[in-house]
Structure 1
Amino acid sequence: MRRWISEHPNAFQAWALLVVWAVGIAALSIFGRTLEDAFFSSLFWVVVLGFSWYFTSRRLRRTASQLEAHGQVLAYIRYPHSLPGSLSGIWNRGIATLAPGKIEFQPAVYDTLEPSGRATSFTVLADSHELRKLGREDAKYIGELGFRPITLTTEKADIEVAAAPASLQKILDAVITPREPEDKD
């Protein structure tokens, strides 16, 4: 089911809106509204919700295509082994520019991805090969749905990078150098 939803997000949103509309009509009818009033009241809120979903998804697609045109991805970074109270538990949102063996991370804010602060360059040495789900505590800092974290070992320290699965694959393809096969002598 999840695979179908990820392959057909617009169809899923349409079905979800129909279900919300039906539940709204039923709930309002149960609480004493006339069927006509319940029908139009829930229709109004479903239209508002539909426009909200439409404009949000359009903005996210536009941002992703602009970043992809420049070889960049939207990502979150944190430093899991830093001192408590620093950025050990907080995800920093920004733009990751990819190069062979390197990630340049520019912190950014707002939906326009306005740069904030200076860029940091990481030389990636290895990855953890462990794509995991965000925990409840982590998810409150990451506003986008479906993002997954992975741990990367850099020349300075370990960092965690969270991005959409397709973006994570781009990161891994770009920055992890192919390992040479070992000789079996």
Structure 2
Amino acid sequence: MRKWGEMHPALRAVLVGVVAFAAIVAAGLILGGDLDDAVANAVFYALMIGGGVFFLTRFPTDTAKLDEPGRFIIFLRFPDSSPGSLSSIWQVGVASPSPGRIDFQPTVHDQLIPTGRSKAFTGLRAMKSLPRKANRHDNKQEVPLDFQVITLNSDGGVIEIAATPATLQNLQRVVSTPS
């Protein structure tokens, strides 16, 4: 069912909206409300819930949209930078890993069009912490909730990378390979 939902995000949103509509109408009638009020509430909340599901899943989380193998969609931020700068802002981009190095090219959100300068992170070492799930604070920056976040030390300082679990495994495998 999850794979079908990934293939058809609009239909998944409609299905979630219909289920929410039915549940809200039933709850409104069980609690003794009028049919008109229950339907009005159900329409409003079904649109909100269905729309939320659609817009939360609109970002391409797989690497199938990339033209070249060995490149991955990731989010990057610098948690130790000074407050008010880039410490809490995630940049979406394409990572090209190689042993001990990740080349990061920022992109425009959905189209994966390169913008800005490419950054090279060298001397990468994993921190002792395990990957964590992206939380609601990360999601404010449009990091999908099914992404995980790892923290790495680099020659330029501490960086955090958010990506799918499979992408993180691939990145760690390629980066930790001796050159």
> With structure 2 as the length reference, what TM-score do the two structures score?
0.70
CA contact (8 A) 2:89 2:141 kept: yes
Task: Check the 8 A contact 1:101/1:123 in 2, yes or no.
Answer: yes
**In the alignment, is the contact (CA less than 8 A) between 1:124 and 1:176 conserved in 2?**
no
1:107 aligned onto 2:106: yes
Q: Determine if contact 1:124/1:152 at 8 Å carries over to the other structure.
A: no
Deviation per CA, 1:68-122, whole angstroms, max 9, x where unpaired?
7432111111111222222112111111112222111111122112222111011
Amino acid at match of 1:66: K
Cα gap change, 1:141 to 1:156, in 2 (>3 Å): same
What percent of counterpart residues are identical? 36
Q: Structure 1: which 5+ residue stretches go unaligned?
A: 1-6, 179-185
Answer yes or no: is 1:122 the counterpart of 2:116.
no
SS of 1:175's equivalent in the other structure is helix
Q: Deviations over 1:36-88 (max 9, x none)?
A: x95xx86xx68x949x84x9868726x63022743211111111122222211
Larger of the two Rg values belongs to structure: 1
CA RMSD of superposed structures (Å): 3.6
Structure 2: give runs of 5+ residues left out of the alignment: 7-11
Is 1:81 the counterpart of 2:80 in the alignment?
yes
User: What CA deviation, in whole Å up to 9, does each residue of 1:133-152 have, x standing for no partner?
Assistant: 33443331134221111111
Structure 1 contact 102–123 (Cα < 8 Å) conserved: yes
Where does residue 69 of structure 2 map in the other structure?
70
Q: Name the SS for the 1:115 alignment partner.
A: coil
Separation (CA, whole Å) in 2 of partners of 1:83 and 1:146 = 28
* C-alpha displacement of 1:27: 5.2
